[in-house]
Structure 1
Amino acid sequence: MAMRTRLDWNGPTVTARQHSGAVAGLRQAAEHILGASRQLVPLEEGTLERSGVASVDENDLTAAVSYDTVYAVRQHEELTWKHDAGRSAKYLERPMTSERDTVADLVAAEIRRSLS
């Protein structure tokens, strides 16, 4: 007894959905890191904290979190400076490390959601 099976391949559709899920996941992940870093960023007047932005390059599937003041890098790297309680140098690096698993979960969840 012969059996027949039919397979419809929707590769381009799947690829497009996967890409849009990855973009959405990266956007959520970058916003998550931005929020976590804002909890640590040195705070005097709030200028540095307000300068933080999250961005996503949809073509390269990369995300970035950045702070845009003339002193942002120095504040991040200078380990000897004193900060208010709960605020610190490495305000961006620390969340990037501590939130690594959460970031991966956010991206994976959005990709799965886009494929369902």
Structure 2
Amino acid sequence: MTKRIYNHPLLKNIETETVEMFYNHHPLTCHVGESVASCLLANDIRTIRHHEDDNSPRGIFCNIGHCFECRAEIDGKKNIRTCLTPVQEGMSVISGHSLPHDVREWSENHV
């Protein structure tokens, strides 16, 4: 079930072209020009990853690329911010697991 506004009193008809992407191997319909995070939110997906330390759910927080909470694996590349990544036809987004914290891992390996 999608949670989108398709008709607005001021903006009128908002329908646009759609593409299909895959989130954890499940197809989702997204609108051309929207971010991966927006598509996930519209499809009622709130948890994009889990915290590295306590496994708590993480999702969209700032939605402007500052916080890194919305990171996921996109087309095989890890730690990509979904709020800054436009959807593309056939894109694969993998999540549901803790992602490594690059700064912490670098610090532990370079002490």
- Which band: TM-score by shorter chain? under 0.3
Give me the TM-score of the superposition, normalised by structure 1: 0.23
More strand by share: 2
Give me the TM-score of the superposition, normalised by structure 2: 0.24
More helix by share: 1
Kindly name which structure, 1 or 2, has the bigger radius of gyration based on alpha carbons.
Answer: 1
